[in-house]
Amino acid sequence: MNKLREVFKINKESIVSIYFSAGYPNLNSTTKIIKNLAENGADFIEVGIPFSDPLADGPTIQESGSIALKNGMNLSLLFDQLSEIKESNSVPLIMMGYWNSILQFGVEKFLISCKNVGIAGAILPDLPLEVYERKYKDLFEKYEIPFIFLISPQTSEERIKKIDQLSNGFIYAVSSSSTTGNKNGIESAEPYLKRIQSYQLKSPLVTGFNIKTKKDVVFATQFTNGVVIGSAFINALKKNASLEENITEFMSEYK
């Protein structure tokens, strides 16, 4: 059983995952953030690979990624940083980024590097399902890196069930068709989340986009196994207290 499925086996209905941009707010913040999130109860952590054209991301994550790039963050440096905490970190880490970054780095080199630093999965929203299945599925499986698929309110039942069969981590249920961090409440996603729940999929489900408050977490976990919080966490890092204090205060609301 892979690391992600182990998490869902232990905690079936209240997973809290945190997303942040590697290299933000400072170039060397990455491992400090991971360490503090782990100490404060994050179930798994999504490490964002900064990219110059992040199509699915809202203003908050775009800004953090832009600052990270200006700080000098890149994939090679990120893997070096993650290697420093491989032995001490016990919380599953997921790499989240855009396919062009992976192509430039080298797909097999990326997967080998992920395996070497203990990455538990990869989210690459702009790699189409059909291309993944035809060209890259065997490679991801060779290096035991679960590919995390995204679904949205527009995804058909047929496609969701196909994704369920291909998944060996979890399915990321995007709560709306907009970018991350918009102002719409998560409650508007109720019909969609109920529809997915009715399919009784074999894969765990996690809701992302527009999770801002504890109330949102409670709402979303009526229908899925957990949530991903991104923009709200990045905003919390901007507060005037220390990085450690900001993370502890933020996580105390959700865990």
pLDDT value at residue 181: 46
> Which member of 6, 39, 43, 46 is catalytic?
46
pLDDT value at residue 52: 81
What percent of the chain has a predicted confidence (pLDDT) above 70? Answer: 95
Q: Tell me the average pLDDT across 190-215.
A: 95
Question: HEC states along the chain?
Answer: CCHHHHHHHHCCCCEEEEEEECCCCCCCCHHHHHHHHHHCCCCEEEEECCCCCCCCCCHHHHHHHHHHHHHCCCHHHHHHHHHHCCCCCCCCEEEECCHHHHHHHCHHHHHHHHHHHCCCEEECCCCCHHHHHHHHHHHHHHCCCCEEEEECCCCCHHHHHHHHHHCCCCEEEECCCCCCCCCCCHHHHHHHHHHHHHCCCCCCEEEECCCCCHHHHHHHCCCCCEEEECHHHHHHCCCCCCHHHHHHHHHHHHC
> What pLDDT, in 10s, does the model give residues 37-85?
999 999 999 999 998 875 666 789 999 999 999 999 999 999 999 999 9
Whether the pLDDT of residue 219 is over 60: the answer is yes
63 flagged as catalytic: no
Whether the pLDDT of residue 141 is over 50: the answer is yes
pLDDT band at residue 184 under the 50/70/90 scheme: low
Whether the pLDDT of residue 182 is over 60: the answer is no
Domains of the chain: 15-254 (3.20.20.70)
> Which member of 43, 57, 164, 216 is catalytic?
57
pLDDT value at residue 250: 97
pLDDT value at residue 11: 78
> What pLDDT, in 10s, does the model give residues 233-245?
999 999 999 999 9
**To the nearest whole number, what is the mean pLDDT of the chain?**
93
46 flagged as catalytic: yes
Whether the pLDDT of residue 196 is over 60: the answer is yes
